[in-house]
């Protein structure tokens, strides 16, 4: 896999101005009381929301420390540590929170050790448990952390605090260094929590998805009209979700709106029925491709029926049709689930 896609680690900062202080407090409140833009925080009785490593455990405490430890140009830095949801799906659900906490703390400490800051840097972080909004795979568990750092760091040699900075020049690139440390830490975490074959398993998942995309080499199964009245060919198919589940939906090309227009169209999948066993998803994708008879509304209607069935009902339907070995070309386009 492309290891640069293993975990996102972004850095931003707020200025020590009235506006910057207001923005910082609003951010702290958001991080405390939200899991995402669309979901409130999932409070757990008896446990603090923030993990305090020197910056405080509440909005008021952290804001106070940010003001006390600011530099001339920086009130506070904020980092995001967001592991790839496909990799997190390999981790046992009950271990994911501990995985991300360890990843966060090891990454922050390792990054500043790499920079030679032996005294360390104060920080606090909050863990969010949002669900992915990726249109190709919505609703996947996407745990990640938001980390708050001060604008200064204690310099042992000078015996005082000095500005903390993130350089991006030819001599030293701290952002690249942060990404390297994050990548190394993520690899170690995956080997410990998942096993030494984690990367092979991911590559196998990626290979299956690439093979599923090849359905667009066949004749399209229908046409979709978008909000602007443009027509797009669609292909009913599958997309592997993880080691156990596959989704049924459709592929079509979407405009990318890139500035240089080097790749104006991107092939993407949209799920209509998720959480199916692999063989079952492949079977129903073939059935729906024929039963839709070129009609997107029909495809969505049939997928809705499929979503309304439980596992036993889907198994019974497959047997009624004739089983996995039955050629799906014999199914009438008027077939009703």
Which stretch of 135-139, 158-162, 240-244, 329-333 has the lowest confidence by average pLDDT?
329-333
pLDDT on residue 258: 61
From edge to edge, which strands make up the β-sheet containing 265-276? 265-276, 246-255, 231-240, 222-225, 294-295
pLDDT on residue 126: 95
Within this chain, do residues 281 and 320 fall inside the same structural domain, yes or no?
yes
Distance CA 237, CA 286 (A): 7
Within this chain, do residues 190 and 73 fall inside the same structural domain, yes or no?
yes
Within this chain, do residues 222 and 186 fall inside the same structural domain, yes or no?
no
Q: Which of 170, 196, 222 is the last residue of a domain?
A: 196
Handedness of CA 14, 20, 23, 28 (dihedral sign): positive
CATH number of the domain that residue 181 is part of: 3.30.930.30
pLDDT on residue 326: 58
Mean pLDDT over 139-163 rounds to 92
Within this chain, do residues 190 and 272 fall inside the same structural domain, yes or no?
no
Within this chain, do residues 172 and 235 fall inside the same structural domain, yes or no?
no
Helix boundaries (H) for the chain? 18-33, 59-68, 85-88, 96-114, 174-193, 198-213, 278-291, 296-307, 311-321
In this predicted structure, the answer to whether residue 62 has a pLDDT above a threshold of 50 is yes
DSSP 219: P
Mean pLDDT over 249-259 rounds to 86
Number of domains in the chain: 2
SS3 of residue 81 by DSSP: strand
Distance CA 192, CA 73 (A): 40
Q: Which of 196, 231, 263 is the last residue of a domain?
A: 196
**pTM of this structure:** 0.88
Query: Torsions phi, psi of 25, nearest 5?
Result: -65, -40
* Count of Cβ atoms closer than 10 Å to residue 336 Cβ: 8
| Element housing 235 (H / E) | strand 231-240
* Structural domain range at position 162: 3-196
Distance CA 166, CA 161 (A): 16
């Amino acid at each position: 896999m492309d290891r640069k896609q293993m975990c996102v680690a972004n850095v931003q900062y707020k200025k020590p101005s009235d506006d910057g202080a207001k923005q910082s407090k609003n951010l702290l409140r958001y991080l405390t009381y939200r899991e995402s833009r669309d979901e409130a925080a999932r409070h757990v009785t008896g446990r603090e929301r923030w993990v305090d490593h020197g910056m405080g455990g509440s909005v008021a405490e952290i804001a106070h420390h940010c003001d006390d430890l600011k530099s001339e140009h920086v009130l506070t830095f904020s980092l995001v540590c967001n592991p790839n949801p496909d990799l997190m799906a390999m981790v046992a659900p009950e271990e994911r929170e501990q995985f991300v906490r360890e990843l966060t703390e090891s990454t922050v400490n390792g990054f500043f050790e790499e920079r030679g800051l032996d005294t360390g840097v104060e920080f606090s972080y909050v863990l969010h448990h949002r669900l992915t909004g990726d249109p190709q795979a919505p609703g996947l568990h996407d745990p990640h952390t938001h980390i708050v750092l001060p604008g200064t760091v204690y310099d042992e040699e000078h015996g005082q605090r000095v500005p903390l900075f993130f350089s991006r020049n030819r001599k030293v690139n701290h952002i690249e260094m942060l990404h390297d440390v994050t990548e190394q830490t993520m690899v170690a975490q995956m080997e410990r929590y998942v096993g030494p074959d984690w990367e092979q398993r991911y590559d196998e998942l990626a290979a299956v998805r690439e093979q599923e995309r090849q359905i667009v080499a066949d004749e399209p199964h229908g046409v979709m009209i978008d909000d602007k009245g443009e027509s797009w060919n669609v292909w009913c198919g599958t997309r592997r979700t993880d080691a156990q589940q596959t989704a049924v939906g459709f592929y079509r090309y979407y405009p990318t709106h890139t500035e240089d227009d080097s790749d104006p169209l991107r092939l993407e999948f949209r799920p209509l029925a998720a959480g199916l066993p692999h063989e079952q998803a492949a079977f129903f994708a073939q059935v729906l491709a024929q039963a839709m008879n070129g009609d997107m509304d029909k495809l969505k209607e049939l997928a809705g029926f499929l979503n309304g069935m439980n596992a036993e009902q889907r198994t019974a339907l497959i047997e009624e049709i004739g089983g996995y070995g039955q050629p799906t070309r014999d199914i009438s386009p008027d077939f009703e689930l």
